[in-house]
């Protein structure tokens, strides 16, 4: 037997010492660490009830600070929690703590519609890949399907706790007369599959023992879905009969985020960068969209091979998985971050790291931020990377060389929201507690920044 004691990255001892066998393996150490972390984090129910906290940090009088934040949009509403751009890049949808969903015109930088229907914070929103339907999920346990043109919404009820994740079935897996299904994940431990044309739940997937953090449809198989959870598992489901295909095991703590190498392609559907540049972003029918989506996916499959998943966890690691293979083990374990990973494009230390998504090989570290890096986003062609930090800056990096191309100061407070337009233009969204959202279009050597007003933006 030996006596061990855990230490953090600053070489400070944590907790008390523990006696373990000399033959203890790495897997057993990870299980031990998971047990200790679980005992430390049994406040899960409280977190579910209070997932976001809004704090005003200022050395000035509150009245002065609020007056300076006012601009042409003078509505009183709470902080924005989620943002999503339409597949064609024309509109932005935002979900808010004031229970509303808003549609914004990115060309004029103005709100054009406000949808009311939720009775608690809006936690997730997602556009259908054709851009004709918007879905939202909230802490009121509801999923609402919106018609963006009319503003009418239909409630989908069934979840008993907050809806935390939404995902639409990819167009390239559909036949000409089909419309994509919607998957929703909740803190009630279940995933539900919805037919949004008839507004009914056609399947309930049960098996997780903690809240769902993310749901993703498979790009390779029409009736396959992936879900990640705080129970440390990724589950692979057959949505046709609701059966569990397998569990993907490896993480030692909560899985906070899950993405795939085809997630952007699934979200953008037929709206590819090439189609945008050639002016072919208009389609007369769903059949045309499905046909174009199939063409784009087949090209991607030839270039990139099989589908891969990437997960990030509170255990400070990321795993790459081949979810459609026979194995339930990760193919690569990515380490290097010194604190928890809340998003696989989000890192809670001061640097950004790049790995090869195929081999798992570490490539380079991007250093420059002096505060925590909250989120990063790739440009559509993958040649640039943008990082957002608590040091109040955005940084644009050359992904190949690792060199800093642009330093984008702007907000007086930390940036916590950043995304890219999956369609065509290379664009950036940045948000902080200064009540502004900046929309920038990135070209090869120029960045155009436009201000769009939001109130207390916080993700």
* Over residues 28-55, mean pLDDT: 56
* Over residues 214-239, mean pLDDT: 93
How does 393-431 read in b/e, with b if 16+ C-beta sit within 10 Å? bbbbbebeeeeebbebebbebbbbbbbbbbbbbbbbbbb
What would the pLDDT profile of 364-389 be if each residue is shown by its tens digit? 667 666 666 666 676 656 667 777 77
Other C-beta atoms closer than 10 Å to the C-beta of 255 total 27
Single pTM value for the model: 0.67
Nearest to 407 by CA among 415, 68, 435: 415
Given pLDDT bands bounded at 50, 70 and 90, which one contains residue 340? Answer: very low
Residue 364 corresponds to which tokens in the numbers above? 């380079």
What would the pLDDT profile of 308-327 be if each residue is shown by its tens digit? 888 887 767 788 888 888 88
Given pLDDT bands bounded at 50, 70 and 90, which one contains residue 179? Answer: very high
Residue 83 near residue 107, CB atoms below 8 Å: no
Residue 302 near residue 120, CB atoms below 8 Å: no
At the topology level, CATH places domain 345-459 in Methylamine Dehydrogenase; Chain H (2.130.10)
Nearest to 378 by CA among 361, 357, 392: 357
Distance CA 35, CA 375 (A): 29
Does 136 score more than 80 pLDDT?
Answer: yes
Q: What per-residue confidence (pLDDT) applies to 428? A: 39
Distance CA 370, CA 98 (A): 33
Residues of the chain with CATH 2.130.10.10: 80-206+262-302, 345-459
* Over residues 29-53, mean pLDDT: 56
Q: In this predicted structure, which of 165-179, 357-371, 381-395 has the lowest mean pLDDT?
A: 357-371
Consecutive H or E run containing 143: strand 143-146
Does 331 score more than 60 pLDDT?
Answer: yes
What CATH number has the domain spanning 80-206+262-302?
A: 2.130.10.10
Distance CA 223, CA 239 (A): 5
Instruction: Give the number of C-alpha atoms closer than 13 A to the C-alpha of residue 288, restricted to the C-beta side.
Output: 7
Residue 373 near residue 388, CB atoms below 8 Å: yes
* Over residues 162-184, mean pLDDT: 93
Percent of the chain residues past pLDDT 70, beyond the cut: 61
């Amino acid at each position: 037997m030996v006596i061990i004691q855990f230490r953090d990255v600053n070489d400070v001892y944590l907790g008390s010492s523990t006696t373990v066998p000399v033959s203890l393996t790495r897997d057993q150490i990870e299980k031990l660490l998971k047990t200790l972390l679980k005992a430390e984090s049994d406040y899960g129910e409280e977190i579910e009830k209070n997932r976001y906290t809004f704090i005003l940090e200022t050395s000035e009088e509150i009245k002065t600070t609020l007056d300076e934040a006012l601009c042409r949009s003078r509505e009183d509403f709470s902080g924005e929690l989620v943002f999503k751009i339409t597949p064609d890049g024309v509109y932005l949808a935002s979900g808010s703590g004031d229970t509303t969903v808003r549609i914004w015109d990115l060309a004029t930088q103005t709100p054009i519609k406000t949808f009311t229907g939720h009775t608690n914070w809006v936690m997730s929103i997602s556009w259908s890949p054709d851009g004709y339907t918007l879905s939202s999920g909230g802490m009121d346990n509801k999923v609402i399907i919106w018609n963006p043109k009319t503003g009418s919404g239909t409630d989908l009820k069934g979840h008993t706790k907050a809806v935390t994740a939404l995902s639409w079935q990819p167009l390239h897996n559909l036949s000409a007369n089909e419309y994509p299904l919607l998957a929703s994940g909740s803190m009630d431990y279940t995933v539900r599959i919805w037919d949004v044309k008839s507004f009914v739940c056609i399947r309930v997937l049960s098996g997780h023992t903690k809240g769902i953090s993310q749901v993703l449809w498979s790009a390779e198989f029409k009736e396959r879905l992936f879900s990640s959870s705080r129970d440390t598992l990724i589950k692979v489901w057959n949505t046709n009969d609701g059966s569990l295909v397998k569990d993907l095991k490896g993480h030692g703590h909560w899985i906070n985020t899950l993405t795939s190498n085809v997630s952007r392609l699934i979200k953008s559907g037929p709206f590819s960068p090439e189609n945008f540049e050639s002016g072919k972003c208009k389609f007369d029918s769903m059949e045309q969209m499905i046909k174009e989506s199939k063409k784009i996916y087949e090209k991607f499959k030839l270039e990139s091979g099989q589908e891969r998943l990437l997960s990030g966890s509170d255990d400070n690691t990321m795993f790459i998985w081949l979810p459609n293979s026979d194995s339930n083990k990760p193919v690569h374990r990515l380490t290097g971050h010194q604190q928890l990973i809340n998003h696989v494009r989000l890192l809670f230390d001061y640097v950004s790291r790049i790995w090869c998504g195929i081999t798992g090989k570490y490539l380079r570290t991007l250093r420059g931020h002096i505060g925590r890096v909250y989120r990063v986003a790739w440009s559509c062609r993958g040649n640039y990377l943008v990082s957002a930090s608590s040091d109040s800056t955005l940084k644009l990096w050359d992904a190949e060389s690792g060199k800093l191309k642009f330093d984008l100061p702007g907000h007086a407070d930390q940036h916590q929201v950043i995304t890219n337009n999956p369609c065509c233009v290379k664009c950036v969204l940045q948000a902080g507690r200064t009540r502004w959202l900046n929309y920038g279009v990135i070209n090869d050597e120029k960045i155009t920044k436009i201000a769009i007003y939001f109130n207390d933006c916080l993700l």
